[in-house]
Structure 1
């Protein structure tokens, strides 16, 4: 059996990726930042084929434990960067674990034999740090795909800036190392929504859905979303997992970074669908998924199905 190491494999997206690999006959090693916090990964033990699952404690900023984690893996998925919107210290909570963690990871895997494929779970922020606002001079109706120029701004949220910088680190590594013995690819999902596998109360994605469903504004950011009826490009968490698995198990995708996205809806219609009501407007296609559909054969489900599937 081949083995995959999934950094962040118990998180909102990572749990579905873990499930996908288990269902396809892989040995799966999942990282936990604190292995004593069983509430963060116990839901994985209920998955089919969980006898092929192993949980290991890992700090991505520590090279020694990182080396141990990837040492016998055929495939490594890196989705372990923090998704924190309400932070106290951007440097220690976002920039260091995201950027330094990526740098350490690349250094370690470049010295590890046997790895065939590495996949980074990036973010739409790697393409546009102003998301959900348009990139640069674009407007809300202008489309965006992998042929567009990446956009960043120092005015963007630190989480988005950190994801953008981490992607730059990966791109530079690929460019500076043309003779790697393994492939590196990335996936960049837009706003990832759907049903969480766990009952964790610290899930940012689940919290966002709960707030929008109930039209709660805990801060000025959310109030602005409602006041401006902000449109969001959305993708289903299960589709992200399927696309990640396909990228990880398909050869010839070295250096590619796929936007994973479905339809765009305004916040008011997102709230309606989260409450199993009809949206007032038809969806638009802003962020395009043509490359992922072409290369990976992924069918992205309608956002209505995703939001109707959320329960809380």
Structure 2
């Protein structure tokens, strides 16, 4: 049981990020003081919207310069904090050097943040943004899991540096966080494992991978059809709420799968079509797996990924997040429509 004093500041790493922005907003709306750790606090363009959020809230925000790959760079930001949200981690499925671009920042970043936490005399809890990718690698892995439903007990055992390196980086980073946590007794660790995060961003310039994926879904890039690929989806606002509850629920512990629904790309397209079918180019059919396999290299996919992920049902158990954190998930239709409304307003489909 950990009671967090809300009069003390709360540190958020990667504070300008997609999920982190909503966490910061929630904290500010609750009247807390946020220590926002960012790479360049002098970049007014990137932090201006967070300042505006603070100005219209009951809370306060202070910016601190910190870099995932710099030792001790989080020392100042963590001062006097009882609660830390570590959200910063690289997310990209298209990298040239996965070790340098994904693994090193994820691992070293976790070590550096938690090293600063260990040096602190005040931190009681760390909430880590992990991913369902640390729970399950390939969808085919479900065939070896009881009832073919992934739970918090499962770990990704199929990803590697050469196969799904992003998922591998999230797995290594979370395991490292647990290893560091187990070697001390000053602070506890609570982990959030979201599925694909969708929904409107707080930042006017959204750069998330999910934004790029949904852009492809609606700009005609997939007009020939979409793979029979099922994914879990969750609203970014619900992910932020899960982080907040994980931080301030005294009895919270362990990992939490955060997922609203599991859908195929075609089902997501159907949800968008209801309101925005005249403004985007959406798919109406599913491509045969053999076609996807043949075309994979031209779409930036590896054929091994297609073999192990296309055509399989995708199921996870989200009951812990509902029962222990009290999360009430938004309907996916609301999430998708809010997201596409923002994307259309931002001109994401002007070429469509």
TM-score for the superposition, normalised by structure 1: 0.87
In the alignment, does 2:189 pair up with 1:160?
no
Shift in Å, 1:108: 2.1
Q: For residues 30 and 326 of structure 2, what CA distance do their matches in structure 1 show?
A: 17
In the alignment, does 2:196 pair up with 1:191?
yes
Q: For residues 233 and 206 of structure 2, what CA distance do their matches in structure 1 show?
A: 22
Matched residue, 1:176: 183
Shift in Å, 1:297: 0.9
1:40-189 mapped onto 2 (5 Å cutoff): 40-47=46-53, 48-49=56-57, 52-130=60-138, 133-135=139-141, 137-138=143-144, 142-154=148-160, 155-177=162-184, 180-189=185-194
Matched residue, 1:204: 209
Pair 1:69–1:147, CA change in 2 (3 A):
same
Q: For residues 54 and 276 of structure 1, what CA distance do their matches in structure 2 show?
A: 42
Q: Give the 3-state SS of the residue equivalent to 2:25 in structure 1.
A: helix
TM-score for the superposition, normalised by structure 2: 0.77
Pair 1:59–1:244, CA change in 2 (3 A):
same
What per-residue deviation string (whole Å, max 9, x for no partner) do you get for residues 56-90 of structure 1? 22102222321111122121100011112222322
Instruction: Give the CA RMSD over aligned residues.
Output: 2.5
Matched residue, 1:214: 219
Q: For residues 94 and 79 of structure 2, what CA distance do their matches in structure 1 show?
A: 35
Match of 1:259 among 242, 257, 260: 257
Q: For residues 3 and 134 of structure 1, what CA distance do their matches in structure 2 show?
A: 43
Q: Unaligned 5+ residue runs, structure 1?
A: none
Pair 1:308–1:227, CA change in 2 (3 A):
closer
Matched residue, 2:304: none
Structure 1 runs (4+) greater than 4 angstroms displaced:
277-280
Shift in Å, 1:228: 2.3
Is the deviation greater in 87-96 or in 290-299?
A: 87-96
Matched residue, 1:19: 25
Shift in Å, 1:201: 5.2
Q: Give the 3-state SS of the residue equivalent to 1:293 in structure 2.
A: helix
Q: Unaligned 5+ residue runs, structure 2?
A: 1-6, 278-282, 285-312, 344-352
How many residues are paired up?
297
Pair 1:37–1:203, CA change in 2 (3 A):
farther
Q: For residues 85 and 276 of structure 1, what CA distance do their matches in structure 2 show?
A: 30
Q: For residues 157 and 121 of structure 1, what CA distance do their matches in structure 2 show?
A: 18
What per-residue deviation string (whole Å, max 9, x for no partner) do you get for residues 15-44 of structure 1? 000011111111011122123433322222
Q: For residues 59 and 78 of structure 2, what CA distance do their matches in structure 1 show?
A: 19
Shift in Å, 1:50: 7.4
Q: For residues 109 and 90 of structure 1, what CA distance do their matches in structure 2 show?
A: 27
Contact 2:68 2:112 in 1 (8 A): yes
Q: For residues 186 and 177 of structure 2, what CA distance do their matches in structure 1 show?
A: 16
Pair 1:308–1:20, CA change in 2 (3 A):
same
